[in-house]
Amino acid sequence: MEGQTSWIRHCHNDMSRDLEDFDSYLDFTNEGGKEAVVAVSVESILPDDLLERILSYLPIASIFRAGSVCKRWHDIVSSRRFLWNVSHIISQKPWYFMFTSSDEPIGYAYDPVLRKWYAIDLPCIDKSNCFIASSCGLVCFMDNDSRSELHVCNPITKCSMKLPEPLGSMFSDYSALAISVNRVFHNYTISVVKSKQVPGNFFQWDISIHIYDSETMVWVTSLTEVLSGWRGGDESVICDGVLYFLIYSTGGGAPDNRHGLVSYNISNHSSHGLLIRSFIPAPCSLTCGRLMNLKQKLVMVGGIGRQDRPDIIKGIGIWILCGKEWREIARMPHKFFQGFGEFDDVFASCGTDELIYIQSYGAPALLTFDMNLKQWRWSQKCPVTKRFPLQLFTGFCFEPRLEINP
């Protein structure tokens, strides 16, 4: 990006400037002019295993900076043992990548720990207009044109892999993408839910579920079914071995019953009969509904529609699924809600671990909600300006991890 460097180089340059005034050994003389005393750096007397453990508690960005201090530190943070320690000692808070162009896959990633933005170029994709899902450090991209070209990558290490094309018809009216990574063995499962209108019948839609297993490297069509009165969409997530996706009414239902949730058990390839039997209604008249897996708990963020005009939202809520019922756990305070407008499709949201991001489509405004602290907070201002009135901003969150690659 013009005028910007990569976030890794940015960290290294900052560290080089910091080192100009750094000395490992400090000489000084006492007031009496006696023999000089040498203060030994703590770092120089620490054994490698202890220094390695200390460094493993640093945020990801600081680990890259630490690697530029000296050869010893660089060797430590590059070792396989260190990468294993990083993944098991501390959980890194998820970052948020915000696209700054509707044509190119360029943008900035926000680190909520250091509250900084870093310029990042994403590997393996050439457009920002694509389907995106993430889990445990890996991000899956699916193109929006053919919806058959998929890549999996680690945005931090830049390692990526192209997947074989899914089975079945290439074209679908709606598609929903999800990925789930095994945190112990690092194998992963990818699902694509395709929804296509039955020719000549707007009320009936063909639903198909396609599953990819990284161990077998094979796609399997796990389910095909026809829904009446409901269609699939572009929102899905895998949580604790179960695939959940939102479905949308094709007409005839009450305004507060326009959205619903259905599930499919990936572990045993079962929907317990027809998909519609797993139906769970939305908690309210919903807009902009987004599903996310927060520590194997299914969470949904969405706009709460007005009773008289469901397409206009009066607030933004967060719900957690408890059995077959949604329980509201938070609602955005009005002072934050004012920054997101009133009309449908004006915000996006995603989350992982215990952090939820909510972003306005119309401006580079990013709001976070901490599930543990129940705290709302604006991010630092993104270093990008709106170039034209109708420019839209999108993004996704991911865990910054060094030890996992596709």
Q: Mean pLDDT, to the nearest integer, of 385-400?
A: 84
pLDDT tens by residue, 315-331:
899 999 999 999 999 99
pLDDT score for 21: 37
**C-alpha to C-alpha distance for 162 and 152, rounded to whole angstroms:** 7
pLDDT score for 85: 77
- Count of positions (residues) in the chain: 406
pLDDT tens by residue, 296-317:
999 999 999 877 777 778 889 9
Q: Distance from CA of residue 16 to its chain's centroid? A: 31
The amino acid occupying position 208 is S
Instruction: Answer yes or no: is pLDDT of 140 > 70.
Output: yes
Phi, psi of 337 (to 5 degrees): -60, -30
Mean pLDDT value across the chain: 83
pLDDT score for 272: 59
Instruction: Answer yes or no: is pLDDT of 112 > 90.
Output: yes
pTM: 0.85
Closest by alpha carbon to 223, among 194, 197, 182, 203?
A: 194
pLDDT tens by residue, 189-213:
999 999 999 998 889 999 999 999 9
Do 190 and 211 touch, CB atoms closer than 8 A? yes
Q: Buried b vs exposed e over 371-401: b needs ≥16 C-beta within 10 Å?
A: beeeebeebeebebeeeeeebebbbbbbbbb
Q: Mean pLDDT, to the nearest integer, of 48-57?
A: 86
What CATH number belongs to 93-398?
Answer: 2.120.10.80
Do 214 and 189 touch, CB atoms closer than 8 A? yes
pLDDT tens by residue, 219-258:
999 899 999 999 999 999 999 999 999 999 997 555 557 8
Q: Which of 14-18, 138-142, 147-151, 225-229 has the lowest mean pLDDT?
A: 14-18
Give me the CATH topology for the region 42-88: Monooxygenase (1.20.1280)
**In the sheet where 95-99 sits, what is the strand order?**
116-121, 106-111, 95-99, 395-398
Region class of 316: left (phi > 0), else alpha (psi between -120 and 50), else beta:
beta
Is residue 47 very low, low, confident or very high in pLDDT (cuts 50, 70, 90)? confident
Three-state DSSP at 394 gives coil
Instruction: Answer yes or no: is pLDDT of 37 > 60.
Output: no
Instruction: Answer yes or no: is pLDDT of 38 > 80.
Output: no
Instruction: Answer yes or no: is pLDDT of 18 > 60.
Output: no
190-193, long-range: CB within 8 Å, 24+ apart, which pairs?
Answer: 190/133, 190/140, 190/150, 190/152, 190/163, 190/214, 191/236, 191/238, 191/243, 191/266, 192/142, 192/147, 192/166, 193/232, 193/236, 193/243, 193/245
**For the chain, domain boundaries:** 42-88, 93-398
